[in-house]
Amino acid sequence: MSYAVKNLAQGSRELIAFRIGDQEFCVNIMSVREIRGWTKATSLPHSPSYVMGVINLRGAVLPIVDLSARLGMRRAEPTPRHVIIVAQVKSRVVGMLVEAVSDILTVTDENIQPVPEVSSDLEKQYARGILAIDKRMICLIELDALFPDTESEAA
């Protein structure tokens, strides 16, 4: 799947929204390289608990992260309906397992509300805001904060 980036109004950005359990999250679409179907990953010994393993992506080794587990939620049990969002995070490429991509959103900074003070410390590290759109609450994730450089490489 590929999406053409439209000419956006000044100050607006496109986000890709996805589901994990009964919650919705989103990331900047400019960091997304592709969306692909679930592929079983080869596990790696001594990797963090949220790293499912690696897959071969056109000759490159791609680490697959269970985004549910990385966000402190229960581990995913992948089905053929799950998808992998392949994203560029700083200098590396990471595959993030999610249940489904739900939407492409065009928002402005005014649409993004601050993360509530009652959020956990973990959530404050990666959450950059909340979008209230059509009776949905969507958490905006900052991938650079979710996958800092100090973590060991999975591949």
For the chain, which residues make up each domain, given as ranges?
12-144
Higher-scoring residue by pLDDT: 124, 76? 76
152 has a pLDDT exceeding 60:
no
110 has a pLDDT exceeding 60:
yes
Q: What are the structure tokens assigned to 43, written together?
A: 């596990």
pLDDT tens column, 63-75: 999 999 998 899 9
Mention the CATH class of domain 12-144: mainly beta
CA angle (32 as vertex; 29, 37 as ends), nearest 5? 120
Answer for the pair 134, 9: CB distance below 8 angstroms, yes or no.
no
pLDDT tens column, 112-132: 998 887 655 656 678 889 999
DSSP character string of 49-91: TTEEEEEEETTEEEEEEEHHHHTTSPPP---TT-EEEEEEETT
1 has a pLDDT exceeding 50:
no
Q: What are the structure tokens assigned to 48, written together?
A: 């963090």
* C-alpha dist (Å) from residue 52 to 40, 87, 90, 93, 130: 9, 16, 20, 15, 28
